[in-house]
């Protein structure tokens, strides 16, 4: 069975390794949140930051992530 989640990258920076990112998270075809990662500064790759539209959608996504963090799950979906 296919899972209901997907990530759509809406902006990707020009840097070849660890580019800046912006995107949207979907559950089936419904937008449930957004994510972004800023630029690398002094060889530090910033974590992915996310915002969900509701606590319920965040909890469902977190349950789907299981043993991974939400950030790791977003990276896997990309």
Q: What does each of the 78 residues of the chain score in pLDDT, given as a tens digit? A: 588 999 999 999 887 777 899 999 999 999 999 999 998 888 898 999 999 999 999 999 999 988 899 999 999 999
Contacts of residue 71, defined as CB under 8 A and 6 or more positions apart, other chains included, come to: 47, 48, 50
Structural contact between residues 55 and 75, judged by C-beta atoms closer than 8 angstroms: no
Q: What is the pLDDT of residue 62?
A: 93
pLDDT at residue 1, as a whole number: 55
Whole-number pLDDT of residue 75: 92
Residue 60's contacts (CB-CB under 8 Å, 6 or more residues apart) are 27
């Amino acid at each position: 069975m296919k899972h209901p989640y997907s990530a759509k990258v809406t902006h990707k920076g020009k840097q070849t390794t660890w580019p800046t990112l912006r995107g949207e998270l979907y559950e089936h075809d419904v937008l449930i949140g957004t994510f972004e990662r800023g630029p690398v500064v002094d060889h530090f790759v910033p974590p992915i930051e996310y915002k969900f539209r509701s606590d319920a959608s965040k909890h469902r996504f977190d349950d789907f992530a299981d043993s991974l963090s939400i950030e790791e799950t977003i990276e896997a979906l990309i």
